[in-house]
Every structure is written in C-alpha cells, then in structure tokens.
Structure 1
C-alpha cells in the first residue's frame, strides 16, 4: 500500500528528507506522496520513516493502492535496481 498525507499537514518538511524513494514532494497546500514511488520503506527500513518523522501524525494508508510486501519490495528494487 502506498501512503498519503491528509489534511493536518503543516508542510514542515520533516517527511521528505527521510523518504528513501524520493516519493514525497511539496504540493500546493501540503506535501504529496507519489504512490508509484512509495514502498512504505519496504526494502530500505523496517517501517515507514515518513510516518515516524511526521509531527502532525497525518500520514495514512492510501485507500486506493493496496500492495503486498512482495509487490512493495519489487517496486523498491525497480526504483533502486
């Protein structure tokens, strides 16, 4: 599953630098996670680093992008292969 940033984002930029896939960018009002690049840190870390870094606790599972750990790992390997 990819993650998304919901309302409540303060655009503090704590999440962006910890993303191993460079999936997080600044949007118009809040930061945005690219679901094609988000692997929930599978392949790089034990848990999503953006969620750990977010002081506003506004990063959640994306309801429309459901992927298994195997799919996330494959995506990570394609990004970093």
Structure 2
C-alpha cells in the first residue's frame, strides 16, 4: 500500500495535535527545556547526584547545604 499525499497530510493533522495536546496535558516539558537544568544542587529542581557533582558543575561552590537526589532517595533532599 502506498500513501498518497492527501493521506499523509491527514495523518499529520491528526497525530501532531494529539501529541502536542497529550504532552501539555501530562505536564511534560519539551526536551530543550529539560536539558537546560544544570545539576548544581542549588534548588530542588537542580538537585545533584553528589557533592562531588556539585563541585564538578560549579567549581566555585563553597561549603554549605545543597540539594541531592541519589538512587536511594525518592525525592530531592538537602
């Protein structure tokens, strides 16, 4: 079976809006936005995997309290 141009357009008109609506409904961030979070431990959203990672990402990081998220933690923790 070969796809006609009209059939391809119809499929694109149906699939693309459903995908966009679904991702907006689920609250998922676009990949470009998700990739911009730097794990520096300064916020819950930017929790790092370890203190070592904080220092690697931000060499000027000083002693203090940072947010971490390790495989053993269920949520980011200070």
Asked whether the two chains share a fold, i.e. TM above 0.5, the reply is no
Who wins on radius of gyration, i.e. which is larger? 2
Q: More strand by proportion, 1 or 2?
A: 1
* Band of TM-score, shorter chain: under 0.3
Give the TM-score normalised by structure 2.
0.25
